[in-house]
Each structure stands twice: as structure tokens, then as C-alpha cells.
Amino acid sequence: MSKLKSKWHEVWEQRTENKTILESKNPREIFMELKRINGWDSTGSMLEYDQFYDQYIQTKNELEFNPRSKSNMISSVFEVGCGCGANLYLFQNDGYHVGGMDYSTHLIEIADRVLTDPIELICKEAANLSWNVKYDAVLSNSVFSYFDSYEYAGKVLEAMYNKANQCIGIIDIHDIEKKEEFIQFRKELYQDYEERYQNLPKFFYEKTFFLKFAEKNNMSIKFTKPDMKDYWNNEFVFNCFMRKR
């Protein structure tokens, strides 16, 4: 594990949970606590449940979760970098079979407590993902920016492709064309930005990286702009959806 990955790993292992909320019977409160644990409180304020749920619906629509052809219907979802299982919690509650992986032992342990009978929960680095068990859709939300190179990201994409029966969705990819604007925004938000995020950089991508992968693997591809209401990161990221032909 590189120094960069070790530093981020340390951050995620230190996240704490409110066990009372996680043991409650309120799905909304449980989901929001899972999102908080996953780091969505990093700017000092949380988005609302409806904003996250809108993103969930948009993701399902882009991946054609309700296709006209029954042969393309999706019933299982795997998430790379699932954290404590917030997104999988929504899919599970809608009747999908779910599985996930994360390199934080602590977050995977939380996911194991809140998810009901997941197919698999794996504690590994993303590039070490195996594809013995396949899923209709393989997703990764707000994770690719924590990788440290195109080479590493390529290994993860290849593994996602092999694990997916039908489609891949990558949410919140940091756009190389917006890098300077992103850094300036964060500096205005945090006066101690340089110190706070020392050795914790984001990786920014060119869209051609994903276009070349889709072409190589004969996949259809679509880019979208995030549209979560009041989400500060909307302007700096894009989504990518790929489907096997």
C-alpha cells in the first residue's frame, strides 16, 4: 500500500458511528448516519436525504435499471469502495441483491451489521477485486478520486468490467479541466487547506481515459453531470456509465 493510500486508510479507519441510530428502525436516519460515516460531513454540513435519494434514482435510470427488455433487467449490484454500505442499503431496501468491497476493515464491519444477507462483503484494495462472483451492475461512487494514478484506476476498471454482467457506473469523477477551480474553492472553504489535506490529494481524470476503455471493450458509454441540489461538488465532477453490448 502506498503512502497516499495508507494516509487515506488511516482517515477511514478513524470514522466513528452512532450505534443507537444504526440499531434504530428508521431507514432514513440509518441511511443518513451511514452517509455521515462515509465522510459526507467533511464540508461541515450534510445534504438532505431527498438529495441523496435523487442521486440514487438518477444512477438507476442511467444504468437502465428498468429496461424494456426483461433480459436486461438488473437484480444484483456490487459497489467498489462501498464504505459502510450506505448506497447498498438503498439498493437492498428496493429488493436488489447486493455486495461490496472496501479497504477499511472498520467500515466493512459496519456494512456487515446494517446490510441483510449481502452476497459478499470484501475487505481489500479496489485493484485486488476478484470476479468469481458476478453482478448485473458494478458501481463506484466518489471513490476513483482517491486512486493515485491512471494505471491503478485502469486495473480497477478492468476488474469492474470482469465482475459486471451488464453495466458499470462511476459516480463523482474529478474532472481534470476543473482541477484549479476545485483547489481554489477548497482553499476558500478552509484557510488551513494546505495543512488539512497534506498528503491527501485528489486524482483528476480526462474523459478520454474512460472513452478509450469503453472502445477497447466494445461498450457503450455516457457521461453525465451530477445534479444533486445544493451539492457543492457538482461543478468539479462528472459521472460515467458504460454498458456491455
Which tens digits make up the pLDDT trace of 196-226?
A: 776 677 899 999 999 999 999 999 999 999 9
What's the pLDDT tens digit per position in 126-159?
999 999 999 999 999 999 999 999 999 999 999 9
Q: What is the pTM of this model?
A: 0.90
Better pLDDT: 63 or 2:
63
Question: What is the C-alpha separation between 241 and 61, in angstroms, rounded?
Answer: 11
Here the cell at position 104 is 477499511
Q: Report the CATH number at residue 9.
A: 3.40.50.150
Q: What is residue 221's DSSP assignment?
A: E
CA angle 115, 56, 52 (to 5 degrees): 90
How far, in Å, are 185, 202, 229, 232, 239 from residue 182 at the CA level? 5, 10, 18, 10, 16
Q: What is residue 104's DSSP assignment?
A: -
Least Cα distance to 119 among 142, 90, 93, 96 occurs for 96
* Domains held by the chain: number: 1
Question: Which residue reads 474529478 in cell numbers?
Answer: 174
Question: Which residue reads 481554489 in cell numbers?
Answer: 184
Domain membership of residue 50 as a residue range:
3-244
- Can you give the pLDDT at residue 64? 77
What's the pLDDT tens digit per position in 27-40?
999 999 999 998 87
> What confidence category does residue 183 fall into, taking pLDDT thresholds of 50, 70 and 90?
confident
